[in-house]
Amino acid sequence: MSEFVLLYRNTSDARRETLGSPEKAKQTIMKWQAWFDDLNGKGCLRNIGQRLDESGKVIRGTNKTVTDGPYTETKEVVGGYSLIEATDLDEALKIASGCPIVQNGGSVEVRPVMRTNF
């Protein structure tokens, strides 16, 4: 088995739409909880992760230039992450395809975790 990080991406507008009222927020949270419960029941959820705030800064280059972030050119924001276990990338993609964010126009980036020896 290998580990994969799921990075949940969405636009600010879509995020506000799914969390914009107490009723919508409750429905959205219930969908996510049901999905996480299913992953946990299947034994592939290693770490549920955390939601991320939309604010932040980016530092880059040798001049250590700081810009508003977490993005500059894109309209999508990484809103959170989780760590799963799957046999391969295809299985990880299948797992990610059930994520509630996809139903609302968002996306899930699936990245293999590289093992290091230090």
Write down the domain spans for the chain. Answer: 2-112
Per-residue confidence band for 40, with pLDDT thresholds at 50, 70 and 90: very high
Specify the pLDDT at position 39.
97
Of 93, 102, 97, residue with least CA distance to 112:
93
Residue 14 or residue 42, greater confidence: 42
Kind plus residue range of the DSSP H or E element containing 81: strand 76-86
At 48-69, the pLDDT tens digits run 999 888 778 888 899 998 887 6
User: Domain spanning 2-112 has what CATH number?
Assistant: 3.30.70.1060
- In the beta sheet, which residues pair with residue 15? none
Say whether pLDDT at 74 is over 90.
Answer: no
What's the Cα-to-Cα distance from 88 to each of 21, 36, 55, 71, 110, rounded to whole Å? 38, 19, 33, 29, 11
Question: What whole-number distance in Å separates Cα of residue 96 and Cα of residue 82?
Answer: 10
